[in-house]
Structure 1
Amino acid sequence: MRKNVFLACVIAAGFFAGLPESNAQTKTFTVKANEVKASVSPTLWGVFFEDINLGADGGIYAELVKNRSFEFDTPLMGWKLLQQGEEQGSLLVNNRGELNGANSRFIRVTSKTPTGNFGFSNEGFRGMGIKKGNQYDFSVLASQQEGTVSLVVELTNSKGEKLGSTTITPTGKPWKKYNASFTATATEPKAMLNIYMKGQGIVDLDMISLFPKDTWKNRPNGMRADLVQLLADMKPGFIRFPGGCIVEGRTLDERFQWKKTIGPVEDRGYLINRWNTEFKHRLTTDYYQSFGLGFYEYFQLAEDIGAEPLPILNCGMACQFNTAEVVPLESLDPYVQDALDLIEFANGSADTKWGKMRADMGHPAPFNLKMMGVGNENWGPQYIDRLKIFTQAIKAKYPNIQLVNSSGTDPSGERFDYLNGELRKMNADIIDEHYYRAPQWFLDNAKRYDNYDRKGPKVFAGEYAAQSVAIASPDNKNNWQCALSEAAFMTGLERNADVVAMASYAPLFAHAEGWQWTPDMIWVDNLKSYGTPNYHVQKLFSTNKGTNVVPLLLNNEVATGQDGYYASAVLDKNKKELILKVVNASNKTQETDFVIDGLSKIAAKGTLTVLRSDKLDQVNSFENPTAISPAVKDITVKDKKVKLPLQPYSVNVIKLKFS
């Protein structure tokens, strides 16, 4: 990683030795509001979801029980006996094998004492987050084999004190789902679920589940409401799912297969998560995917938050950093068929095979899928060979589906140059570029797209995040320096909205005790969540998207670093607003005039939203989640001019009404 010039300059300027300086010389920006340069795509700012850092199970997916159907490679991972000794009872893992491939295992529990002293517990995902007064819904698939055995279900805190309980008594041998609910009496971030056997006999159990009642929209099998709300508040134009590298898998056997994630939850597959042992510094050997959060739920989430769905599918290649397995071209048909079937699942009528599956799951109307990704960070001729086959088949049947194609792992170099050239020869719809780089790279590349071909493929800035230390370093922080540099870069994305159609920060979620990669946009634990400074930057841009780009000039030039300024401007023709985004990346307060040309009438009052910190190493945290958060104040417009002191290290959004 090259030396961080930006931070070095800050230190040289004496910033950490005292208060920021003031620059008395006024800089004048001119807005050419009647010179529309580009239309802003409704999908310009979106979110990228990958099941990394316990992002799904243990994160946005609200299930509290880990390994609920005993399908992990170690069948009892997450579970432990509460009472040892054959005189009390025993637990045996049964495997039905091919009789039920997706959910082949269950446990057979023998209770030898009527006292209720024998049982087992589940540890959850680094514990279970329980809230006082909240209802919890327990369910289990059970088959009473001999005698009568009741299940005494209880939550306890870290001291063993009971937080709530209920009892279920299965009846009869046929497998049946049993449900019960109870209300928690206290809040506890590290609760455990205990199940005691009361009575003598044998009972078979499977799909042992516990959900909070207050999921997003109170849906069974639902999502954590606080996490979905953070996404909804961003008003994203799209949501990309399910990844990321998990799409590829370490091997093709471990790739993400969307058909295994739909239908009844108990019939969905289980899969080891490829981030399980990817980083030796953050081994997470209990990381699996239950697929309770599947493609149906992803589509539903996109619909809920008003975002376009962007599914990414495996192109017949495993991760090239791992095994680099490929499917022979002559054997690629099943992979291509999966792509065609997914479009039918999303858009087909209930008369089609996969459209009927969607309707049977509760969504008769189409999801209106418009775009799809083929491959993730794949590279080389082998990717192009497979992509051509996918493209021909998809376009032949669904010519209006836009395809997102990989430009590899980096924003420059041999891999990128080859793919970028080949994709442009193919007249690709959208090229997905990724940048995990130092903050200085983002400042230097604010003008990256100024000279891109306006008639060529659109660009998807699919994964980006400034790295405070180095790529994939466990010491990376979501600090203000990184967020500020990303904001500067994003002004360049917005200015070039005729080239850049989509952009998303990555990764999205990270569990405080279960992460593998940093930095991440939203941090969570079992009870709380907060947005990082990077989240607030993304939200400021996404909620102030506008409809049309107009010039915002400093000395007749776009602002791409002169005096520390980075800037862009849009009109929102629907709301009749002019929106200016101006980053002051310098360590000085800058006196600034904004002169508005091309609008006949501007309201006398506008608003200024400021996101800033004097400390470039400042972060948000569970203890101080709003250390960096936006502040809004009114501003005055006089003679079509706004005079503002722009504070050091600040992101500023100026909104003016016009008529």
Structure 2
Amino acid sequence: MPIPTRFSTLATGLALLGALTIRAQAPATLTVQVNKPGAAVNKNMYGLFFEDINFAADGGLYPELVKNKSFETDDHLLGWKALRGGAALTSYVVLTDGPIGPTNNHFLRLSTQVGGPEAGFVNEGFRGMGVKQGAEYTFSVYLRRGPGSIAALNVTLEEPGRPSGGPETAASGPALAQARITDLTSEWKKYSVVLRPSATFAKARLKLTVEGTGTLDLDVASLYPKDTWKGRENGLRPDLVQLLADMKPGFLRFPGGCIVEGRTLAQRYQWKETIGAVAARPSLINRWNTEFLHKFTPDYYQSFGLGFFEYFQLAEDIGAAPLPILNVGMACQYNSAELAPISAAKGPNAPVAAADDAPTLDTFIQDALDLVEFANGPVSSPWGAKRAAMGHPASFNLQMIGVGNEQWGPQYLERYELFAKALKAKYPAIELVSSAGPSPDGPLFDTDSKALTQLKADYIDEHYYAKPEWFRTNVGRYDGYARGGPKIFAGEYAAQSVAIASPDNRNTWDCAISEAAFMTGLERNADVVGMASYAPLFANVDAWQWTPDMIWFDNLNSYGSPSYYVQKLYALNKGTRVLPVTMPAGAKNGTDNLFASAVVDAPTGDVVLKLVNYSGSPRPVSISLAGAKKLGKTGRAQVLATADLQTQNSLKEPKKLAPQESTFTVKGSTLNYTLAPNSFTVLRVPAQK
């Protein structure tokens, strides 16, 4: 990541100042047909794609601080380490004898014959535990006392040991908060205490030690901040949700992404296992844990504390339409490519070798039908009752479902057709999102797109990860798409500064401005493109697998990349109808690296223009607002611009590149404006009040 200097900051400032200076260069003339509004813009046009990659859920949006709190991962002590100093534990073991419940059937048994301040365990958290001075954190745990005289469990939030400023050690560092739990019983009982750290620390750890001698059983050890979105007990990290809410997104797609598929069908995402009591939700390995050698993370698991109920609730909170994606009976085709049998009979596309106990496609279809009932059904229905029991008797107003994530080929098409038939028969108003595979072109893409059109699919999900120049070159991608067929969901896209899946990719301004240029083509073709979302959404700076990403965070802080601000400007200025734009001398959009689109915003009457100047020089433009009547005299400009296309935001400089607002004068129906070098500009021309 480049280190900013005073010189580069000064150069950027001078470039922006130059953009305000009228040059002798003749302005480029554009015409916006204000009196000829075209296609309606989907009210949910620009949204969010969430996938649990890059520690986006556990260790991110879901703010539980204890890793593997219930000892249910394959490595049952993942995240936990026994203390070895002083009077160490006599023994410790993970058992299943008399657990707290059938789905949470592992617990930790600690035994000591000597006792002492170091008889216990520490939990490392998710690359440490970020805590803030004076904030409140609820520690809760299930305990059961066995033989002996264990009198208490001591709970300490501490800094790791660092001798002479060196690396962390197993030894304890300064305590940040402490509590003592007493009144232990011979039956499982839940205990809770509140910890208030004495200092802010980004990588703290939790230490649990027994007081006395004997045996103590321990399970579901949780450390949860009280400061959550809307103050909910199982709430989400507020700074990350706020960044989403500020975008006013039209939809929230969840839970992925390839996370839906799993490497095998046994490892697929099953929404029914992510609802109900948090402590009873079984954990599952995350399919991204060992996918990339450059970020080998075998400790990456899903606790499902953030489950389907919480996703629906989040969508409702931020005013986004929920868009759940469900497994279509296919594991990831890049991994096992395992298939659920369509029926007991063998067909031409049935799996060659499926496990004897593998669920058939009927199971997956029933999961989809049950999901609609869970989201929308009355409280008197079986799944609607489960939603109500979780605190939401009202419908979540689910209107769309994704069938499969990034599948392709005849086996997908066959399964999609059966899914669609069953869902449309019972819920004809539900719209379905289908998949055109992982690539935006090629024989597989063409075949799938043609077949899905013949099947009268509602939406076809297209994905594109490519170099920045691809996005600028393909700004006219949808100009020639047939009208009247399925809508396009640009479900995953992001410019790759180096190469697809390269660990060296960066969230540069070159990537973001190229995405902004491409999005003028999405907006101009709103009669074809109904939804669009950047991907991936979140990334932990200490635990990412894939880059670039829209929002980055550590244990305490977060920031939006330049791509975040591009997405935000589009979402906040999406308008209601497309306005035709004629480029200079009738050229194609993007000629001479000038890109444009325009919409009218019916509620305000504003004319909204989006302009990209992918050039190192200021560019004066003269914009004729043809047929406009009663325009206001002062417009508002929001500008993302920097002379350096490699500019990035960071935790140290979270808004190094962020929109700058200004006003401009409107005289008559012609608008003169000078676009800054390498800029994305949104101009709002108000209707006269």
TM normalised by structure 2 equals 0.91
1: distance between equivalents of 2:616 and 2:121?
59
Q: CA deviation at 1:217?
A: 1.0
Displacement of 1:37: 0.8
8 Å contact from structure 1 (residues 149, 203) kept in 2: no
Give the conservation status (yes or no) of the 8 Å contact 2:496–2:548. Answer: yes
What's 2:165 paired with? none
State the secondary structure of the residue aligned to 2:686.
Answer: strand
For 1:416 and 1:67, the matched residues in 2 are separated by: 40
Partner of 2:286: 273
Q: 1:559 to 1:224 in 2, by over 3 A?
A: farther
Q: Distance in 1 between matches of 2:654 and 2:310?
A: 29
Does 544-553 or 480-489 show the bigger shift?
544-553
Name which of 547, 555, 565 aligns with 1:526: 555
Verify: 1:563 aligned to 2:592, yes or no: yes
Please report how far the alpha carbon of residue 148 of structure 1 lies from its aligned counterpart in structure 2 after TM superposition.
3.8
Distance 2:199 2:582 in 1: 57
> Does structure 2 conserve the Cα–Cα contact (< 8 Å) formed by 1:23 and 1:591?
no
- Determine the structure 2 residue equivalent to 1:658: 687
Distance (Å, rounded) in 2 between the aligned partners of 1:99 and 1:266 = 9
With over 3 angstroms needed to count, the CA separation of the structure-2 counterparts of 1:176 and 1:99, relative to structure 1, is closer
Distance in 1, Cα, partners of 2:88 & 2:457: 68
Q: Work out the CA distance in 2 between the residues paired with 1:468 and 1:97.
A: 54
State the match for 2:180 in structure 1: 167
Q: Which piece of structure 1 moves more, 136-145 or 87-96?
A: 87-96
Q: Which residue of 1 aligns with 2:141?
A: 140
Partner of residue 74, structure 2? 73
Q: Measure, in 1, the Cα distance between the counterparts of 2:35 and 2:146.
A: 78
The answer to whether the Cα contact below 8 Å between 1:23 and 1:589 also exists between their aligned partners in 2 is: no
- Structure 1 residue runs of 4 or more that deviate by more than 4 Å after TM superposition: 18-23, 84-88, 96-101
Return closer, same or farther for 1:85/1:253 CA change in 2, 3 Å cut-off.
farther
Partner of 2:60: 59
Q: Does 1:222 align with 2:235?
A: yes
Query: What's 2:267 paired with?
Result: 254
Aligned to 1:398: 427
Query: What whole-Å deviation, never above 9, does each CA across 1:110-162 have from its counterpart, x for those lacking one?
Result: 24345443111000000010111111110111222333431111111234111
Q: Deviation of residue 198 (structure 1)?
A: 1.1
Residues 403-424 of structure 1: per-residue CA shift (max 9 Å, x gap): 0000000000011011001000
CA distance in 1, matches of 2:118, 2:645: 56
Q: In structure 1, what is the equivalent of residue 506 of structure 2? A: 477
d(CA) in 2 for partners of 1:508 and 1:593? Answer: 36
Distance 2:686 2:87 in 1: 76
Instruction: Please state how far the C-alpha of 1:85 moved relative to its aligned partner.
Output: 8.2
Give distance in 2, aligned partners of 1:84 and 1:92: 19
Instruction: Tell me which of 205, 212, 219 is aligned to 1:206.
Output: 219
Aligned partner of residue 139 in structure 2, secondary structure: strand
Written as runs of structure 1 = structure 2, the 5 A alignment for 1:316-465 is: 316-330=329-343, 331-465=360-494
CA distance in 2, matches of 1:512, 1:52: 12
Structure 1 residue corresponding to 2:577, chosen from 528, 545, 548: 548
Against the structure 1 CA distance between its residues 658 and 299, is the aligned structure 2 distance closer, same or farther, given a 3 Å change threshold? Answer: same
Distance 2:381 2:89 in 1: 53
Tell me the distance in 1 between the aligned counterparts of 2:199 and 2:86: 32
Residue in structure 2 matched with residue 12 of structure 1 by the alignment: none
SS at match of 2:633: strand
Deviates most, 373-382 or 636-645? 636-645
Report Cα offsets for 1:598-617 as digits up to 9, x if no partner. 22101100111110110111
Q: 1:642 aligns to what? A: 671
Query: CA offset at residue 558 of structure 1?
Result: 7.0
Aligned to 1:31: 32
SS of residue matched to 1:162: strand
- Please name the residue that 1:292 is paired with: 305
- The CA RMSD over aligned residues, in Å, is 1.8
Where 1:539 maps in the other structure, the secondary structure is helix
1:150 aligns with one of 104, 128, 152: 152
Q: Secondary structure at the match of 1:418?
A: helix
After the TM superposition, which of the residue ranges 212-221 and 62-71 deviates more from structure 2? 212-221
Q: Distance in 1 between matches of 2:322 and 2:513?
A: 28
Sort the Cα spacing of 1:98 and 1:176 in 2 relative to 1 into closer, same or farther, 3 A. closer
1:582 to 611, 623, 626: 611
2:497–2:508 contact (8 Å) kept in structure 1: yes
Alpha-carbon distance change, 590 to 171 in structure 1, aligned in 2, over 3 angstroms: same
Amino acid at match of 2:52: D
1:559, distance to aligned residue in structure 2 (A): 5.2
Task: Please state whether the residue corresponding to 1:538 is helix, strand or coil.
Answer: helix
Describe the shift of the 1:170–1:279 C-alpha distance in structure 2 as closer, same or farther (beyond 3 A).
farther
Out of 274, 277, 299, the residue aligned to residue 264 of structure 1 is 277
- Residues 85 and 191 (structure 1 numbering): CA distance in 2 closer, same or farther, change over 3 Å? closer
**Aligned partners of 2:45 and 2:250 also within 8 Å:** yes
- Using the alignment, how far apart are the partners of 1:577 and 1:264 within structure 2? 48
1:640 offset after TM fit, Å?
A: 1.9
What's the CA shift for 1:43? 1.1
SS at structure 2 position matched to 1:345: helix
Deviation at 1:102, TM superposition (A): 2.6
Structure 2 contact 453–486 (Cα < 8 Å) conserved: yes
Contact 1:87 1:112 in 2 (8 A): no
2: CA distance, partners of 1:320 / 1:137: 42
Write the letter of the residue equivalent to 1:38.
A
Q: Counterpart amino acid of 2:181?
A: I
Q: Which moved more, 1:473-482 or 1:596-605?
A: 596-605
Tell me how far apart the structure 1 counterparts of residues 681 and 302 of structure 2 sit (CA, whole Å): 40
Q: Distance in 1 between matches of 2:85 and 2:590?
A: 68
Matching of residues 179-194 of structure 1 within 5 Å: 179-194=192-207
1:8 aligns with: none
Asked if 1 retains the 8 angstrom alpha-carbon contact of 2:637 and 2:683, the reply is yes
Mark the runs of 5 or more structure 2 residues left unpaired by the alignment: 1-10, 162-172, 344-359
Q: State the alpha-carbon separation in 2 of the partners of residues 456 and 362 from structure 1.
A: 40
Report the Cα distance in structure 1 between the residues aligned to 2:586 and 2:507, rounded to whole angstroms: 31
Task: Give the counterpart letter for 1:250 in structure 2.
Answer: R
Q: 1:469 to 1:501 in 2, by over 3 A?
A: same
Shift of 1:258: 0.3
Residue pair 1:89, 1:111 contacting (<8 A) in 2 also: yes
Aligned-partner Cα distance in 2 for 1:507–1:373? 17
| Superposition deviation, residue 335 in structure 1 | 0.6
Match of 2:660 among 631, 637, 640: 631
Q: What SS does the corresponding residue of 1:157 show, helix, strand or coil?
A: strand
Q: Alpha-carbon deviations, 1:183-241, whole Å to 9, x = none?
A: 11101011010111112332211110001111111111221100000000010000100
Are 2:622 and 1:593 aligned? yes
| Distance (Å, rounded) in 2 between the aligned partners of 1:187 and 1:85 | 28
Contact 1:163 1:186 in 2 (8 A): yes
- What is the CA distance between 1:95 and its match in structure 2? 2.3
Q: Does the aligned pair in 2 maintain the 1:170–1:178 contact within 8 Å?
A: no
> Within 1, Cα distance between the matches of 2:205 and 2:24?
58
The question of whether the paired residues in 2 share the 8 Å contact of 1:477 and 1:518 is answered with yes
Which residue matches 2:256? 243
Unaligned 5+ segments in structure 1 are 1-14
Contact 1:143 1:170 in 2 (8 A): no
Q: Alpha-carbon deviations, 1:441-482, whole Å to 9, x = none?
A: 101111111121220000000000000000000000100100
From 529, 535, 544, give the equivalent of 1:506: 535
